Amino acid sequence: MADRGPPFAALRALEAACRLKSYSLAGDELGVTHSAVSQSVRRLEQCYGQRLFWRQGSGMSPSPAALALAQAYREAERILLRAGEDLKIREGEGALVLSTLPSIAKLWLGPKLGRLQEAMPGIMVEVRTSRELANLQTDGVDVALRVGFGHWAGLRSELLFDEYVFPVCSPEFLARQTHGVQAHGSQGAQSYGASDEEHIARGPLILEDVNLWPSWFEAAGISAPVPLRGQVFDDSALCVEAAAAGLGIALVRRLHAQEALASGRLVRMSNIRVKDPYSCYLVWRDGSPRIGAIRRFSDWVLTECDRAGLLKAA
């Protein structure tokens, strides 16, 4: 008779006992009795011909051989889980789960979901939005669109593009500002020679929790208002919507402003822009069983970024 190897269920009990240093706690976790765990360990000791645990006070101390078996069990379990996920993908089940910021989902990804579906037939993309970073290990997320510095422990990342910020407002707001400047200038109170950037410094600003206005004013070569005046929002999408509603001048990223600029809801107030300290990345875990779908998604994202001019420097 062929050697069928050690019983897998017994190895599961051994792994829990090694981790918890207790047969009773291992039994509680697995939903079995202390005696059942003890019997599983004895079966393995008979199989390998050596002692695997010693009693130490009220707990159990695993031998080096037991620890090695527990590690082998965990690796085998990961392989089986990933094989199961890969099988679901091949059979057309499950989805490519994408995590990203609410602002990216609303302002950039949302209007493109139809094209995404056309580009990836047979693969359903599930979009999850959160300001918290997905760990891509235990939360079911396969790939993430992130802004940051590109270094996340235990994950692979691919730079999509560097980001820049520039000031925008609504066409109606710009018309009001222009009319006010001209009317004021006709009375001699303000010179027509004032730059657009100086007008921006005097206008109501829309501020975000990550504030890049001081850097922008420095790049424009003018002094920033002290203190900065304007409404504060903690979300980029709200800043864009506030600017489109005519509440003031927002400093926005290209990724966030693209659709509103294309539709005419926003206009750019200055050609001066500054580089955002954060860049846009695609992030996934190494060895993902969905790497084929992730690569297809990456190709689609790069195509859309190129279409929008985001792959250019500015």
Residue 157's SS3 state is strand
The per-residue pLDDT for 185 is: 40
CB 139 within 8 A of CB 168: no
Quote the radius of gyration of the chain (alpha carbons, Å).
29
The string of pLDDT tens digits covering residues 144-188 is 999 999 999 889 999 999 999 999 999 999 998 776 544 434 333
Report DSSP state, residue 49. Answer: T
The reply to whether 8-90 and 94-314 are identical in fold is: no
Each residue's pLDDT tens digit, 46-82: 888 899 999 988 889 999 999 999 999 888 888 777 6
Q: Is the pLDDT of residue 123 over 80?
A: yes
pLDDT of residue 109: 93
Which of 305, 294, 309, 255 has the alpha carbon at shortest distance from 157?
294
SS3 state of residue 240: helix
Res 11: pLDDT: 92
pLDDT in tens, 180-204: 544 434 333 333 234 678 889 888 9
Cα-Cα-Cα-Cα dihedral sign, residues 74, 77, 81, 82? positive
| Mean pLDDT confidence for 74-97 | 70
| pLDDT over 70 at 36, yes or no | yes
Instruction: Tell me the average pLDDT of the chain.
Output: 86
**DSSP annotation string for 249-304:** EEEEEHHHHHHHHHHTS-EE--S--EEEEEEEEEEEETT-TTHHHHHHHHHHHHHH
**pLDDT at position 205, please?**
94
Asked whether the whole model's pTM tops 0.85, one would answer no
**Range 94-314: architecture per CATH:** 3-Layer(aba) Sandwich (3.40)
Percent of the chain with pLDDT over 70: 88
- In CATH, 8-90 is 1.10.10.10: yes
Domain range summary for the chain, segments of one domain joined by +: 8-90, 94-314
Omega prior to 227 cis, within 30 of 0: yes
Alpha carbon 268 to its chain's center: 28
Work out the pLDDT band at 95, boundaries 50, 70, 90.
Answer: confident
* pLDDT tens, position by position, 241-296: 999 999 999 999 999 998 999 999 999 999 999 999 999 999 999 888 888 899 99
> What residue type is assigned to position 255 of the chain?
L
Looking at residue 62, its pLDDT comes to 94
* Distance of alpha carbon 81 from alpha carbon 138, whole angstroms: 11
* Closest of 160, 197, 195 to residue 282, by C-alpha: 160
